Structure 1
Amino acid sequence: MNIMQSQKKILSLILLLAVVVFPLLPTPQFWIIQANYIGLYALVAIGLVLLTGIGGMTSFGQAAFVGIGAYTTSYLTTACAVSPWLTLPIGLLITGMSAYVLGRITLRMSGHYLPLATIAWGISLYFLFGKVEWLGKYDGIAGIPALQLFGFDLAQERHLYFLIWAIVLGATWLALNLLDSRAGRAIRALKGGRTMAEAMGVDTGRYKILIFVLAALLASVSGWLFAHMQRTVNPSPFSLAMGIEYLFIVVVGGIAHVWGALLGAGVLKLLADQLQVLLPALLGSGGNYESIVFGVILILLLKYARGGLWPWICALAARLVPPVKKPVLQPAASTIARREVPAKGSPLLQVEQISKRFGGLVAVNDVSFGVKAGEIVGLIGPNGAGKSTTFNLVTGLLHASGGSVTFNTENITGLHSRAIATRGIARTFQHVKLLPSMSALENVALGAHLRSEQGFVRNTVNAMLHLERKEEQELLNEAARALTRVGLQHLMHEQAGNLALGQQRILEIARALCCDPLLLLLDEPAAGLRHLEKQALSKVLQELRESGMSILLVEHDMEFVMQLTDHIVVMEFGAKIAEGTPEQIQQHPAVIEAYLGGIE
């Protein structure tokens, strides 16, 4: 269901109001303590939402980072008499450096290897805390001083509540700001796969490390607060079991939703406490029934509210509060610098004797062709001819075994896809690669990722502090302009996953146009489209050519290719067998042989 922003804002305001009012009421001390624990859990869960729910990287080791923050302040305040407020930046520094080193090692892994690596990390640090003499071994450290702030003694739980929840709400604000930005689109693109994100110019390695470190820092702050609330620490709260519980929190609350982290922490903590009272009374104290009940709850949740409680509640709210339809964004005049377009007819792309071998298999064998500025070139051939492999060699997804690729007078052979994107080549994909939960406008704005003038660190900091609004509006204007160019401006606020296949393919073209390319590469853009959708796509491509855009396309639909292209290259079994105008190709004996098996 498409959950409108208005419902989310109303629910967020209700939750915010409840947090502020709660301690001002005559609330029993027990519930204040419970709320403090919920805040500590929520801090770790916010980081896991960024890392796992949005970034797609599962970590079981967040409890270890909580332990670093807790043990750093515990040891320094008790053994070295360092101020608790000074131990916070020290703990963050140690945590950040540990997370960066660990991230550089583990985030290169894929599949199940990354979760296994974080499990190993969590177990290792747990036993380290329990074996080191000066950390108190398994007895831990006691006598940790309470926090003092502006004359308030934060040893009192009601006073500490305000500090904990001020930090939690601040972290929530920073996380929401980050996700609603250029950097946030890049982070959300990580879960869609590296191939698409890199082709749009996103440095996926940097953004993976960024959210890994951010999640670790939030966990470290939680550990710092935990140590000064408990006034004693030992390894037990930082075990692998606690790391699994943090993941359980975000699954319950809504793994891809920041507010879901707070909701999940509250539900899980309160439910755990109530079950510890109710289950022994009902079933006796002879078994660990809480784990069984939690398992059943998780199964029911995955069946009936797979996305977690927060989106489920938002969906219910959508029935009560009428959605506010966003107005179609009217793109203003472009304020972002554009590339200088080469003169029509001048050489733009030149592929010289390029080849690709996979072991003993020769997929592409000494293929040469060129694309001139302002023309559409088709790359055709039977299935298995090597078209897509050639396409991927040009765009840097594959590295050539031999030959060269020259683009706009520069040799780009061997460059990775992100570097090629910076030089003015944009592409679409044979199988549509969009982010279905994001709007069409946001998907297209991802194409403008490289068109920011700010550096990585500055852009991230400005995004979290909400200081990049002017640049963000410029990028959204560019996206709206690209959507208008392909005729999809009326769908800019629709979720990309709700669009028809033909609209999604055109949406991919709009995203590629937002890169401000000199050359547009389209991989089977008409595949799976109906006749009217093909006509609409052909019209869009013809208009792009008339505006000066150069296009190289791989396509199986011969009628579509013959009516659209200026020049055609034909491949069979990895080799070029013909090249010429559509009229020449239709009469070429080798092409007829390849497609029809010869003429009697």
Structure 2
Amino acid sequence: MKRQTVFLCLAALLFAAIALAPGFYVNLLAYVGLYSLVAVGLVLLTGVAGVTSFGQAAFVGIAAYTTAVMTTTFGLSPWLSLPACLALSGLSAWILGAITFRLSGHYLALGTMAWGLGLFYIMGDVAALGGHTGIPGVPRLPLDLLYEYSGRWYAVLIWAVAISVIIAIERILASRKGRAIRALKSGQQMAESFGVNTYTLKIQIFVFTGLVAGLAGWLYAHYIGFVNPTPFGIYASIEYLFMAVLGGAGYVWGAVLGAGIITLLRHWLQDVLPLVLGRSGNFDIVVLGVILMLVLHRARNGIAPVLARYVRSTPKEPPQGITRLMPRRSQPDPAAPLLELSGVTRKFGGLVAVNQLSFSLKNGEILGLIGPNGAGKSTTFNLVTNVLAPTSGEVRYAGQRIDGTGMRNIARLGIARTFQHVQLVSDRSVLENVALGAYLHGKRGLTSAALRLDQNEEAGLLAAAAAQVRRVGLADKMHEAAGSLALGQQRLIEVARALVTGPTLLLLDEPAAGLRHLEKQQLAQLLKDLREDGVSILLVEHDMDFVMNLVDRLVVMNFGEKLASGEPRQIRNNPSVIEAYLGGEAA
């Protein structure tokens, strides 16, 4: 069944249930809609971007308390309090995110837990906020201006907001910014290499999810008519996270599924368990936890991926009639070296990985960097692309010193790379992975994507990505998941992603590894064509036949030092090179 058909049918069933179901179930549906709003933010933040947050309930509380104070103490209309609720929740997310995202690993998750607990205790201890007793008498939304008040209209409003937010997030994830967000979880180094400011992007996502949680808090306060700290504590944040994970952390509509299952299951257990186990103790929490573990044991990625197998999603074809590639960069002075390394050294404690390395790469040339395993080739790549900073020495590009300028600036200069260990968003299509390389050629942000104001820009970016997919010979794999392809084909995806940046200098780290003989021949011809187009290439490769028949010059490394340099025929007969590869006795 097509995805659009499924969505329309489910939406129709939902609003029919709100209109016809008994009041108790309408109330439950309203709660599911509120919880879905918060959970869908966690799908974006945790499931897609890979940032675990245990404090989302605090943003719900900030907005709920803001509107409660403004409407009960100052007598403002609930509609007038909404901008203040969003402003405070967004500002809080920005401040906390700016601090928290300087942490990494489990410290990041613990940081979100710490400020979530802090805000919870502030809500309970400040007398002006009613302490742990809370603030009663929060007015209902004046829906009676249009209709006679009914809880059903609240449920309709809540679900209209929830569906709008979910659609906006889906649009964001299908955009240039969305591809960058997905790349965060797969590898920040990879995202930064194509010009993504990962720190700023994380804060933008965090603020967005804070705003969504704030919107849920405003709706919650006026639906319940009362606020106290309990629904905004750490337990509530963990429950929201459970909803996202159970539904399917990488699936936007999974948030609705997870929120619905946990909400309905919890209410059912609260009715049934007291009849079986008595009314003392919170057995519903224990049983709910056991059920969730059993479900996740059978479907570790959540329920949405299981159901998605039965829903057809038609791949979106690249726009037709748009054949332009990315704008060509201005070419550096052809008489001067394009890339120069002068006395570059990199130490890791007592280990010298690269030692006093010096070489240059000319404009329009393919330079091979070879050597035994552990010679320092990939470290050299990382020094050129600013993944690592040299301990001493200089790296210059087109006469400009570039060491220490950051990976994002390297991408802006026109340097693109592939990786020794393939770095792709494995569950996304080949086209989407390649389109990440065009990130710097777009300007539209999250708001434009959510409102579909970026369609012309997206058309150009996807057309450029599709052209490079065809160029590397993967046209028939364009809509397949990148992770389902063979290793050699995944390396070609990385080559296409680098090409879509429109590079002047292309750094390829073992691009022929995993390719069959014919595929290697096609890759060699592609690289020769790129050289003719004015693209300079620095190549690390272990296949000597591939290298010797391709490159203009070679630099040989051994134990972090330059062992020899020259044309392939000179290197082939160099005794020091033969000894380094085969050993003195064998030589």
TM-score by shorter chain over 0.5: yes
Where do 5+ consecutive residues of structure 2 fail to align?
A: none
Q: How many residues align?
A: 586
1:17 aligns with 2:3: no
Where do 5+ consecutive residues of structure 1 fail to align?
A: 1-5
SS at match of 2:341: strand
Aligned equivalent of 2:111, options 86, 106, 117: 117
After TM superposition, the structure 1 stretch with the greater mean CA deviation from structure 2, 109-118 or 324-333, is: 324-333
Q: Is the 8 Å Cα contact of residues 382 and 572 (structure 1) preserved in structure 2? A: yes
1:242-321 alignment, distance < 5 Å? 242-317=236-311
Task: Report deviation, 1:64.
Answer: 0.7
Task: Report deviation, 1:139.
Answer: 0.4
Amino acid at match of 1:243: S
Task: Report deviation, 1:266.
Answer: 1.2
Tell me the residue number matched to 2:455.
Answer: 469
Q: Distance in 2 between matches of 1:62 and 1:83?
A: 26
SS at match of 2:340: strand
Aligned equivalent of 1:354, options 335, 344, 368: 344
Tell me the residue number matched to 1:157.
Answer: 151
Task: Report deviation, 1:526.
Answer: 2.4
Amino acid at match of 2:539: L
1:577 aligns with 2:563: yes
1:333-482 alignment, distance < 5 Å? 333-334=323-324, 336-342=326-332, 347-452=337-442, 454=443, 459-482=445-468
Tell me the residue number matched to 1:49.
Answer: 43
Amino acid at match of 2:370: I
Identity across matched positions, percent: 52
Tell me the residue number matched to 2:170.
Answer: 176
Task: Report deviation, 1:501.
Answer: 0.7
Aligned equivalent of 1:231, options 225, 229, 232: 225
Structure 1 residues 144 and 121 mapped into 2: Cα distance closer, same or farther (>3 Å)? Answer: same
Structure 1 residues 373 and 515 mapped into 2: Cα distance closer, same or farther (>3 Å)? Answer: same
Q: Is the 8 Å Cα contact of residues 66 and 223 (structure 1) preserved in structure 2? A: yes
Amino acid at match of 1:79: T
Q: Distance in 1 between matches of 2:348 and 2:148?
A: 65
SS at match of 2:352: strand
SS at match of 2:360: strand
Aligned equivalent of 1:543, options 507, 512, 529: 529
Q: Distance in 2 between matches of 1:448 and 1:528?
A: 26
Structure 1 residues 61 and 450 mapped into 2: Cα distance closer, same or farther (>3 Å)? Answer: same
Aligned equivalent of 1:496, options 465, 482, 497: 482
SS at match of 2:306: helix
Q: Distance in 2 between matches of 1:30 and 1:571?
A: 74
Cα deviations by residue, 1:323-358 (Å, 9 ceiling, x for unpaired): 756657657321743213457675211222211122
After TM superposition, the structure 1 stretch with the greater mean CA deviation from structure 2, 396-405 or 284-293, is: 284-293
Root mean square deviation, CA, Å: 1.9
Cα deviations by residue, 1:55-104 (Å, 9 ceiling, x for unpaired): 10111111111100100011111111122112111111111111111101
Q: Distance in 2 between matches of 1:564 and 1:154?
A: 78
Tell me the residue number matched to 2:57.
Answer: 63
Amino acid at match of 1:104: A
Q: Is the 8 Å Cα contact of residues 376 and 552 (structure 1) preserved in structure 2? A: yes
Tell me the residue number matched to 2:191.
Answer: 197
Task: Report deviation, 1:205.
Answer: 0.8
Structure 1 residues 154 and 195 mapped into 2: Cα distance closer, same or farther (>3 Å)? Answer: farther
Task: Report deviation, 1:128.
Answer: 0.8
Amino acid at match of 1:446: L
Q: Distance in 1 between matches of 2:573 and 2:410?
A: 36
Q: Is the 8 Å Cα contact of residues 554 and 567 (structure 2) preserved in structure 1? A: yes
Q: Is the 8 Å Cα contact of residues 182 and 446 (structure 1) preserved in structure 2? A: yes
Task: Report deviation, 1:544.
Answer: 2.4
Q: Distance in 1 between matches of 2:229 and 2:355?
A: 60
* Moved beyond 6 Å, runs of 4+: none
Structure 1 residues 528 and 16 mapped into 2: Cα distance closer, same or farther (>3 Å)? Answer: same
Amino acid at match of 1:254: G
Q: Is the 8 Å Cα contact of residues 43 and 255 (structure 2) preserved in structure 1? A: yes
Q: Is the 8 Å Cα contact of residues 326 and 502 (structure 2) preserved in structure 1? A: no
Q: Is the 8 Å Cα contact of residues 325 and 467 (structure 2) preserved in structure 1? A: no
Q: Distance in 1 between matches of 2:141 and 2:80?
A: 11
1:91 aligns with 2:85: yes
Q: Is the 8 Å Cα contact of residues 331 and 478 (structure 1) preserved in structure 2? A: no
After TM superposition, the structure 1 stretch with the greater mean CA deviation from structure 2, 249-258 or 329-338, is: 329-338
After TM superposition, the structure 1 stretch with the greater mean CA deviation from structure 2, 154-163 or 489-498, is: 154-163
Q: Distance in 2 between matches of 1:154 and 1:73?
A: 23
Q: Distance in 2 between matches of 1:211 and 1:7?
A: 30
